[in-house]
Structure 1
Amino acid sequence: MPSVTAVRTSVLPPYAAYLRVYEPLAAFPEPERARWQTYAAEHGPAAGSPGAAPSALAERRRSLAELVTVTPKALPERESRDALVRVADGVTYICPSRIRLRSWLALEELKEELPAPLLDAVLPPAVREQAEADWNRWRGDHPDTRPWILTRTWHVPMRWFLLFSEEERHFSPALPALPAEEGDGGAGRAAAPASLFYLTPMAQARRRLARGYRVLRENLDEGPLVTGVEQVGRWLEEFHPRSLVELDYGGLVHAIPEARLADDRSAAEVAEGIAALRAGDGDRAGQAYRTVTERWRLVQELLYAN
């Protein structure tokens, strides 16, 4: 894989992880392709911003700002025309934000996760009903649309790790703030948190997921893990075969001590568990599973801390 640059910022994002697909410009039909090409030239790494542009955090800040109003809003009024951009081996890749679409999908999940009284307190029924009516109308006009970004709060689903190998892991330790020094134009450096992400070609991601799915189907009963892997596989099939797939720990780096983050080898442990299942070693597979689930259980419990 080509070298990549982590996005650094000093502003705390939501405690969420992201699975993203970056498609090559060739995957987009005209005139959308021309618009993204212009966008990448203006906002992408080649224009002076390393990594992805606008940054993943900038996207989250904008979406949160749009929703924090006196009158509760379930989703932004207009769809975002922004994207995350990567350039690798001379190829420009685009990951459209589609914040409004993702807000609709998140609202569907929220209805299943929260009890009705709490959901009514967060989003009044009238607000939800309008959002649902807009969603049904929009979905009827755009039946084939899918999000380029999947989001999960307070954890990384185990099935996401199936797509990556240890060699594709990119960890960057936190950077302390530096004061402005004479001779550097008066510019200092803001403190930056640690970052952790994985990046792989789509072909590799699909191959690993298919192998893992086959092993799970042969050794486990039908359940949330097997069903979840199948859903991720169907989602990946919607994209260009030469895309890039990224797993970004996002704001979870603020919930996990840096030492634990540096030692996190979840993708390698999931791969070890799949290999053990394939070899018929249930004890070793069980140990790998417990290691990963215990790590993320500790993170999820922070949701209930005061």
Structure 2
Amino acid sequence: MQSVTAVRTSVLPPYAAHLRVYEPLAAYPEPERARWQAYAAAHGPDASAPEQTVAPAALEEQREALAELLGRTPRTLPERESERAFVRVVDGVTYVCPWATRLRSWQALDELRVSLPVALLDTVLPPAVRAAALADQERWQAVHPDARPWILTSRWEVPVRWFLPFGAEDRCFVPAGPEGSRVPAALFYLTPMAQARRRVARGFRVLRGSAPTGTLVQGVEEVGRWLEEFHPRSLVELDYGGLVHLLGPERLAAEDSVEEIEAGIGALRSGDGVGAAPAYEAVTARWRKVFALRNAS
């Protein structure tokens, strides 16, 4: 097992999971490629082997976000796009996953508009603030029509559709360090893009054949379309992030939702709908319990 850098911080990561795409430097056009190449050379890799976690870098991203929010002049959204990224090196190839904080902030604002009652939303983000943010977003998207985030975030749960790109062999569990070491546990899956696309396409075909109008089928299709936006030699990562603190050591070590969903898809493919149901039900019930903690006092 790899060594893990101790995280010296009082900031805990949010209770959120992340789906990330790391593109090889060759995927970026100039001058962007040169900028990320210089960044990777100066910054160094956040993970220099497939089994290493980028958790320390993710905590650094969270600290920067908090500093922005709690600054002398607090801002609802970043004024400029982040020039930071997660960097992985695998088999001598450098892969970059830009933070794209500003773009992701606009997307989070869109999610708030859908998920919060209007009265609460107006309290948290007054209409004038939202209108200004929307105007900024429209101006930016007019210049960057093909922009897409390299990172998707889900709070309080891992969506079932996110498990499909991965196999049990992609699992990397990093146990927490000794008491007092402040080295957090981490759980993530990392797989090549080609493998991720094949699994999602295969799962989509199977699910569409059994429940063509279900929300899971629609979600899997969205994930597949998102993955198609990136370089075919990219890496795809599912990081449980701050959810490891909700699961606890024992549940974290035993967490195998990817393997269960993989078994369920296999059962459906062979025509065993009865055998597939328990796997799906077990995974959804497990994450329903985790999501319910959102409302705990």
Measured against the shorter chain, the TM-score band is over 0.9
My pick for the range that moved more, 69-78 or 280-289, is 69-78
Q: Which amino acid aligns with 2:292?
A: E
Structure 1 pair 243/5, CA: closer, same or farther in 2 (3 Å)? farther
Q: Corresponding residue for 1:281?
A: 272
Asked whether the 8 Å contact 2:23–2:235 carries over to 1, the reply is: yes
Q: Corresponding residue for 1:66?
A: 68
Is 1:240 aligned to residue 231 of structure 2?
Answer: yes
Looking at structure 1, the residues matched to 239 and 6 of structure 2 have their Cα atoms a distance apart, in angstroms, of 12
Q: Corresponding residue for 1:163?
A: 165
Q: Corresponding residue for 1:121?
A: 123
Looking at structure 2, the residues matched to 72 and 283 of structure 1 have their Cα atoms a distance apart, in angstroms, of 54
Asked whether the 8 Å contact 1:41–1:47 carries over to 2, the reply is: no
Looking at structure 1, the residues matched to 292 and 174 of structure 2 have their Cα atoms a distance apart, in angstroms, of 25
Q: Corresponding residue for 2:87?
A: 85
Is 1:266 aligned to residue 284 of structure 2?
Answer: no
Deviations 1:181-209 (A, max 9, x none): xxxxxxxxx32121000000000000000
Deviations 1:69-97 (A, max 9, x none): 57763311111000000000000000000
Asked whether the 8 Å contact 1:21–1:244 carries over to 2, the reply is: yes
My pick for the range that moved more, 280-289 or 146-155, is 280-289
- Structure 2's unaligned 5+ residue stretches are none
Asked whether the 8 Å contact 2:77–2:106 carries over to 1, the reply is: yes
Structure 1 pair 305/54, CA: closer, same or farther in 2 (3 Å)? closer
Instruction: Quote the sequence identity (%).
Output: 63
Match runs of 1:1-306 below 5 Å: 9=7, 11-45=11-45, 52=54, 55-68=57-70, 73-177=75-179, 190-306=181-297
| TM-score of the superposed pair, with normalisation by structure 2 | 0.93
Looking at structure 2, the residues matched to 29 and 23 of structure 1 have their Cα atoms a distance apart, in angstroms, of 12
Deviations 1:25-84 (A, max 9, x none): 000111111111111011122999975497111112212321235776331111100000
Structure 1 pair 177/303, CA: closer, same or farther in 2 (3 Å)? same
RMSD: 2.2
Asked whether the 8 Å contact 2:24–2:95 carries over to 1, the reply is: yes
Q: Which amino acid aligns with 2:132?
A: Q
How many pairs are equivalent? 293
Q: Which amino acid aligns with 1:83?
A: A
Structure 1 pair 62/253, CA: closer, same or farther in 2 (3 Å)? same
Deviations 1:86-123 (A, max 9, x none): 00000000000000000001111111111101111211
Asked whether the 8 Å contact 1:15–1:250 carries over to 2, the reply is: yes
* 1:235 Cα deviation after fit: 0.7
Asked whether the 8 Å contact 2:187–2:239 carries over to 1, the reply is: yes
Deviations 1:139-187 (A, max 9, x none): 1111001000000000001111000011110001111245xxxxxxxxx
Looking at structure 2, the residues matched to 5 and 228 of structure 1 have their Cα atoms a distance apart, in angstroms, of 36
Structure 1 pair 4/197, CA: closer, same or farther in 2 (3 Å)? farther
| TM-score of the superposed pair, with normalisation by structure 1 | 0.90
Looking at structure 2, the residues matched to 272 and 175 of structure 1 have their Cα atoms a distance apart, in angstroms, of 32
Looking at structure 1, the residues matched to 67 and 289 of structure 2 have their Cα atoms a distance apart, in angstroms, of 30
Asked whether the 8 Å contact 1:16–1:249 carries over to 2, the reply is: yes
Looking at structure 2, the residues matched to 259 and 123 of structure 1 have their Cα atoms a distance apart, in angstroms, of 39
Asked whether the 8 Å contact 2:55–2:241 carries over to 1, the reply is: no
Q: Corresponding residue for 1:181?
A: none
Report SS of the residue matched to 2:95: strand
Q: Which amino acid aligns with 2:184?
A: P
